[in-house]
């Protein structure tokens, strides 16, 4: 008769939500430094876009104009198409989202029990229904002016493109309402890390 193995407890999953440029990735990085495993859906989506099945479909839809010289997909060019055309965006999401969700689920399941929590950083977390996987939702709040400046510095988006992308997501008030906790990112990484540490200690204290 074999010896039964102990069941390995999975770490809790904390989902991050907020507006574009609010600092979700900064918070995820802080939580990663505090012993959490970070699952970055945007990085996963970038990899998915470069898979052969996705590249072939996108080339069939929009031709070679959305490819860079090295043969990889130009995300900025694709973004200009899909955020100006709802039907195009929905078609791309129907292709990419299932693959991204599958990879996110695999990354969550692979997290070791020694990690304090799994941080799910996904731009469309609520829109894609990934909140169903989360034990806790944290809303990252930041002033609109700060968000705009950060996004412009990072991606070069002007006000019109920023607005189109914001409109494609669930409204901030609803995101805040559906969240369990709110952290404020006021351009001070030290203060944000302190908030992250305090929240993590409250939700999932260290066992050592």
Residues 28 and 40: beta-carbon distance below 8 Å: yes
What would the mean pLDDT of 71-82 be, rounded to a whole number? 90
Domain ranges of the chain: 14-203
Q: Which superfamily, per CATH, for 14-203?
A: P-loop containing nucleotide triphosphate hydrolases (3.40.50.300)
Per the listing, tokens 């590249």 go with 55
Which element (helix H / strand E) includes 14?
Answer: strand 13-18
Does the pLDDT value for residue 183 go beyond 90?
yes
Q: What are phi and psi of 52, to 5 degrees?
A: -60, -40
Predicted model pTM? 0.85
73 secondary structure, DSSP code: B
Q: Which of 83-87, 91-95, 128-132, 161-165 has the lowest mean pLDDT?
A: 161-165
The band of 21, judged by pLDDT with boundaries at 50, 70 and 90, is confident
CA distance 113 to 110: 9
What is the pLDDT of the chain when averaged over all its residues? Answer: 87
Per-residue pLDDT reduced to its tens digit, 107-133: 999 988 788 999 999 988 998 899 999
198: Cα separation from own chain's centroid: 22
Which element (helix H / strand E) includes 141?
Answer: strand 136-141
State the burial class of residue 55 (Cβ atoms within 10 Å of its Cβ: 0-12, 13-18, 19+): middle
Per the listing, tokens 């010896």 go with 3
């Amino acid at each position: 008769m074999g010896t039964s193995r102990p069941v390995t407890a999975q770490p809790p999953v904390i989902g991050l939500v907020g507006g574009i440029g609010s600092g979700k990735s900064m918070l995820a990085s802080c939580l990663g430094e505090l012993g959490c495993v970070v699952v970055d859906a945007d990085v996963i989506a970038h990899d998915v876009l470069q898979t052969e099945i996705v590249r072939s479909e996108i080339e069939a839809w929009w031709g070679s104009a959305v490819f860079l010289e090295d043969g990889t997909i130009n995300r900025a060019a694709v973004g200009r198409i899909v955020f100006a055309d709802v039907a195009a965006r929905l078609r791309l999401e129907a292709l990419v989202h299932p693959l991204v969700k599958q990879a996110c689920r695999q990354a969550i399941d692979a997290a070791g029990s020694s990690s304090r929590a799994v941080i799910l950083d996904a731009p469309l977390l609520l829109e894609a229904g990934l909140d169903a996987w989360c034990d806790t939702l944290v809303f990252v709040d930041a002033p609109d002016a700060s968000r705009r400046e950060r996004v412009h510095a990072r991606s070069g988006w002007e006000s019109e493109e920023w607005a189109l992308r914001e409109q494609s997501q669930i409204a901030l008030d609803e995101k805040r309402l559906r969240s369990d906790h709110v952290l404020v990112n006021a351009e001070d990484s030290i203060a944000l890390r302190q908030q992250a540490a305090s929240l993590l200690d409250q939700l999932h204290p260290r066992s050592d």
